[in-house]
Each structure stands twice: as C-alpha cells, then as structure tokens.
Amino acid sequence: MSHRYRIVYRREECLGDAVCTAIDPDFWHMDRDGKASPASDHVEEEQLKDALLAEALCPARIIHIIR
Ligand code: SF4
C-alpha cells in the first residue's frame, strides 16, 4: 500500500516567487493574491520526490513534509 505524507504549509509567509509551482506544477499553484497553495494537505508516495524538492528549495522554508 502506498504511504501518505502530510504537508504542513505556512501560507501566510509565502513570498510568491513561484519556485514550488515551477518544481511541481501538478501539485502547487499560484492564487490571485500572489501566494501559492497546494492541491492537498498530503502527498502520496509517488509524489514524494517532487514534494521534497519543493520543501528543500522554497526560499521561505515554509513547506514541511511530515515523514
Ligand atoms: S516556493 Fe515557497 S515562498 Fe515560493 S511561492 Fe512556493 S511556497 Fe511560496
């Protein structure tokens, strides 16, 4: 069975630079207010690699994948 990983995201601190949406456009999108939002509060195992990359490269360090 595929494992799920919870995402904790502090949206109010988003810088709006769209790094996450460039890395993982299937999961992250930019909202009209200029901040990013995730498609869900969790990722599946097969989405984990991109999720970890977004976590690592987000300049604000506000994306956290709970393992
Ligand atoms: S990479 Fe981080 S700061 Fe940049 S848009 Fe995404 S969540 Fe916001």
Q: What is the pLDDT of residues 8-42, one digit of tens each?
A: 999 999 999 999 999 999 999 999 999 999 999 99
The answer to whether the CB of 20 is under 6 A from ligand 1 is: yes
Q: What is the pLDDT of residues 34-67, one digit of tens each?
A: 999 999 999 999 999 999 999 999 999 999 999 8
What is the CA(1)–ligand 1 centre distance, in A?
30
Question: What is the predicted pLDDT for the residue at 2?
Answer: 78
Radius of gyration of the chain (CA): 11
- The tokens describing 37, both together, are 């939002």
Residue 34 per-residue DSSP state: S
- Cβ atoms of 64 and 12 within 8 Å: the answer is no
What's the rounded Cα separation, in Å, for the pair 42 and 8? Answer: 8
**Is 70 exceeded by the pLDDT of residue 1?**
no
Domains of the chain in start order, with CATH, are: 4-66 (3.30.70.20)
Which residue, by CA, sits nearest to atom 8 of ligand 1? 14
What is the CA(16)–ligand 1 centre distance, in A?
6
Number of H helices, E strands in the chain: 2, 5
